[in-house]
Amino acid sequence: MGDVTDALLRWYDEQGRDLPWRRTRDPYAVLVSEVMLQQTQVARVIPRYEAWLERWPDAAALAAASAADVLREWVGLGYNRRALRLRDACVAVARNGWPATASGLRALPGVGPYTAAAVASFAFDEQVAAVDVNVARVSGRLGAEPAALVPEGRAASFNHAMMDLGATVCTARRPRCEACPLARLCPSAGAVAAPLPRGAARQRFEDTDRFARGRIVAALAAGEAVPAGLGEERTERALAGLARDGLVVRDGDAVRLP
């Protein structure tokens, strides 16, 4: 698969995205970026990432922060539990230091296989494939295992390149095969069908419990009361889940950030 990786890396050298977390090998900065990027668009993450590092520049600083402050800073990024797991990971790092391998990083709270491989690759130059949804899609269309494609000594560039290709060219619904640097080497080129539209209407995000959870945390972070208008049953479900996940504390009728 050398021709594939050579073409991919040439394309990345010319057209790779210039993102702030790609300008550092600090494992803390890389971890922050990877956690923020989980199910959140790059454009939304960039300013929040930069503000976060300005406030908490290293793992020890974040480990010393209160849970409430961490949640306030996270408001708007979604999936608030990620913020507390990131803080928990930094508590472990402040106590024991940074594991330098993907297997060691897996022991940190909230760090799964992809995040561990990404930090190991980008911060510690471990030669491993970091397989997120984009990488899995690209490699699947190429008919190859990601690990078999990693070029010796260039795992970090390879992982960034695969992520960029999947995010901007080899997309899930409308792949741009005509613009792909791997088209002549890809058995799926020109033959990838977009998924059929779902028959049933999707639930509006504003009607979900996740929306209610986000509204509640945002209100508490701003010093406001639990917002009205979410519906009694949905509010109770959201509060019960938030309390269970350690994102709020309930004391009788009073609710606050931890």
Token pair in block for residue 125: 């130059």
- Find how far residue 15's CA is from the centre of its chain: 22
Residue whose C-alpha is closest to residue 115's, from 139, 132, 137, 90: 132
Integer Cα distance of 46 and 54 in angstroms? 13
Which distant-in-sequence residues (6+ apart) come within 8 Å of 24 by Cβ?
Answer: 30
Integer Cα distance of 207 and 198 in angstroms? 19
Residue whose C-alpha is closest to residue 168's, from 158, 159, 179: 179
CB of 232 within 8 A of CB of 200?
no
Token pair in block for residue 119: 């930090």
- Find how far residue 36's CA is from the centre of its chain: 5
Q: Could you tell me which residues are beta bridge partners of residue 251?
A: 254
End-to-end CA distance of the chain: 51
CB of 54 within 8 A of CB of 80?
no
Kindly name the residue from 14, 34, 50, 54 that is annotated as catalytic. Answer: 34
DSSP structure class, residue 205: G
Amino acid type, 225: A
145 is catalytic: no
Q: Give the residue numbers annotated as catalytic, written as ranges.
A: 34
